[in-house]
Amino acid sequence: MRSLTTIILCLFSITALACKGTLLDHNFKKLASSEEVNLCEAYSGKVVLVVNTASKCGFTYQYEGLEKLNEEYGNEGLVVLGFPSNDFRGQEPGTEEEIQDFCRLTYGVKFPMFEKTTVKKNNAHPFYHGLADSAGGYPQWNFHKYLIGRDGELITDFSTRTKPYDDVIIGALEKALQENI
């Protein structure tokens, strides 16, 4: 019995060590799926760019740049995570299946997308509360970006108007990708 307890404690310790910090320690369902993912377990040790998205927004074209970033820097350890949100003027009104189809068919999105998520201050998902607490502010519109380092800590955030291939994002991404845990 003592051996079983030791094994269980070791397994919990390994999971806890793999997830440095608590920022990413949240569960989300994959978009249009019942499969649940713990962000920390899935993306620990990666550089993560978190983006609240919308399909009917003037900034929706950013999907293309986000997918390109994910493809170009993915082998170096970057992952872009999309969180559709209908918080800003109802610009993500569709079902999760409709959102998934739109993203894949219109912009070729392959980066992980998750369930519709509330990101505005009063009703934000706890993940977004944590991001906002670390960054000093909540998204003010769709396509706000949060950059999380390999250590699971927030590095910085970028406004909606900052395009995926803006020099400030590329510089921060490349610096984060060079850092080891």
Residues belonging to the active site: 57
DSSP string for residues in 95-148: -HHHHHHHHHHHH---S-BBS----SGGG--HHHHHHHHHHTS--SSTT-EEEE
Phi and psi at residue 130, in whole multiples of 5°? -65, -45
80: left (phi over 0), alpha (psi -120 to 50) or beta: beta
Torsion of CA 87, 37, 130, 58, to 10 degrees: -30
Give the number of residues written for the chain: 181
Question: How much is the CA Rg of the chain, to the nearest whole Å?
Answer: 17
CA contacts within 13 A on the Cβ side of 138: 16
Q: What does each C-alpha distance from 158 to 1, 11, 20 come to in angstroms?
A: 51, 36, 23
